[in-house]
Amino acid sequence: MTEPGNTLAERMDDSQLGEVLVSAEDLQRRVRELGAEISRDYAGRDLLLICVLKGAVLFLSDLMREIDVPCQLDFMAVASYGSATDSSGVVRILKDLDAPIAGREVLIVEDIVDSGLTLQYLLRSLGARDPASVEVCALLTKPERRKVDLPTRYVGFEIPNRFAVGYGLDFAERYRNLPFVAALAEH
């Protein structure tokens, strides 16, 4: 029997994986902090969490267990035209919300803000539906890649300009199940 290797790629037996960007422990700690902060900010208000499919699913499910104010949940799925790793800003709604959001306190839960173009579209689309407020909670942000300036009220971690996978984030629909966030290897 061979010993498991030391690098992530060896342990996972996958040469596409690079180094860990955010460990499972750091994810858990930060999600707890964000949940506490959101609970304080929304005390006495009726919160509507909007999870952006599919990448934010793991983050949302951990985050909402750390939120102790009454909240409701809805889902939206969007696709951005572009290459595998670059969004174009032209966004298509694949699945819209189940219910109207007029008068609601909306918190968009996103996996990652890269160029910011997807989120810019979402903020415009949801903002036009007369919510009482719209804020953003993003697990990750890549400041170096930002093309548009956006109000992201809650952010988990800033990461370097690498393609990230794990904890919900995918590359070609793979790696969403990793309990940590890793970079794709640079070959």
Q: Which residues form the interface with ligand IMP (CB under 6 A)?
A: 55, 80, 87, 110-119, 163-165, 169
Q: With respect to ligand IMP, which residue has the nearer C-beta, 66 or 170?
A: 170
Q: Which of residues 31-60 bind Mg ion (CB under 5 A)?
A: 55
3 state SS of 126: helix
Inter-CA distances, 130 with 75, 115, 134, Å: 18, 26, 10
Paired tokens of 46: 């009726």
Q: Which residues contact 130 (CB under 8 A, 6 or more apart)?
A: 101, 102, 103
Residue reference for tokens 């007369």? 130
112 binds, among ligand IMP, Mg ion, none (CB under 5 to 8 A by kind): ligand IMP
Give catalytic status of residue 114 as yes or no: yes
Q: With respect to Mg ion, which residue has the nearer C-beta, 35 or 55?
A: 55
164 binds, among ligand IMP, Mg ion, none (CB under 5 to 8 A by kind): ligand IMP
Paired tokens of 177: 């199940």
Supply the residues annotated as catalytic: 114
Q: Give me the residues that bind Mg ion (CB under 5 A), please.
A: 55
